[in-house]
Structures are given as C-alpha cells and as structure tokens.
Amino acid sequence: MKPYVLFLTLVFAAFFLAGIVAPPPVRKAAASAVQLVADSYRGVAGGTLFFYVLFSNVMVSILILVTGVLVGIIPILSVGSKGFFLGAAFRQAAETAGYAKAVWKILPHGVFEIPAILLAASYGLWLGVMVLRRWRGGGDTLLRYHVAHAFRRYLAVVFPLLVIAASIETALILYS
C-alpha cells in the first residue's frame, strides 16, 4: 500500500500548494465553498452534529474507495480536489486571520481526516490497479476478494480515524 499512499500524498501536496498559489478570485471562490459546507454544520446539536460529520466523511471515503475500481481515476481526482480546496481555504484564512490561526483551522483535518481519506483513496487506487491487471490478463484473484480486503482494512484503520476526526471537528464547531 505504501506506493499508493505516497503517490496520493504527493498529489494532495501538489494540489494543496496549487490552492495556496491560486489567483485571489479562485482562492476566494474555493474558500467560500469550504465555508458554505462549514456553515451548514452551525446550529446543529452536538450528538447530531457528530453523526452528521461522521456520516458525511464515511460516505465520501467509501465512495472514493469503491469508485477506485474505475481504474483509480476518482480517488486521484478526489484527493487532488480536497488538497486544492484545503490549500485555498488555508491561504484565505492566513490572509485574514494570520498563519497561526490558519494552521489551527486545518490542523484537525490534517491529523486524522486527511490521512483517513488518503488511505481510503489508496485502497481505491489499488483496486483500480487490480482491475487493470485483470484486464491485461494478469492476476488470478477475483476482484471481490480485493474489495473485501479493502473494506476490512477500511473498517480496521480508516473508520476509527474518521470517528476521531468527527469528534474533533464537532468539538471545534461547537466551541468556536
């Protein structure tokens, strides 16, 4: 899994930097989109908010994983877009509130949520590579066994990270 995680981490980092250096109108539009999503969480009760955030992150990560069977394109695009939007939001926050506050705004995402998404996307990309190998006549393992393995790893590693991320994100939304 290491090559997939490394590749997608590089994709994320490149798009994060692209978001940071994007022209101001593009950054503002991206930051507005991120803010619109964040604002949709405001005013929701604690327990409901936690499950809403968790459900949203779980659905996104499962879709990224499952759509990997489409030759891995969706996981790559998803990681890139997540990096770009986070980079643009970071730059906008840095320009308005300073770099220290901007770091604190994205740090909870970077510690648990981004690694969880990267792992889910890595398994999705891995599934895409397995599909390509089968199409080329290589690999004798049925795709369902690879999918089952990916979901076992998802439940063992990604899901717990998403639970922690949702807890932190809920606390930050409620107490900010």
User: Does 49 have pLDDT greater than 90?
Assistant: no
The residue with greater pLDDT, 134 or 7, is 7
Q: What DSSP state is assigned to residue 113? A: I
Inter-residue contact 131 to 73 (CB < 8 Å)? no
Query: 106 versus 98: which is more confidently predicted?
Result: 98
41 pLDDT above the threshold of 80 = no
- For the record, the structure tokens of 35 come out as 């803010």
User: Which tops the pLDDT comparison, 141 or 3?
Assistant: 3
**By the 8 A CB rule, do 4 and 126 touch?**
yes
Whole-angstrom distance, CA of residue 176 vs CA of residue 52: 18
Structure tokens at 155: 């439940």
Rounded CA-CA distance 54/11 in Å is 24
pLDDT (average), residues 46-75: 90
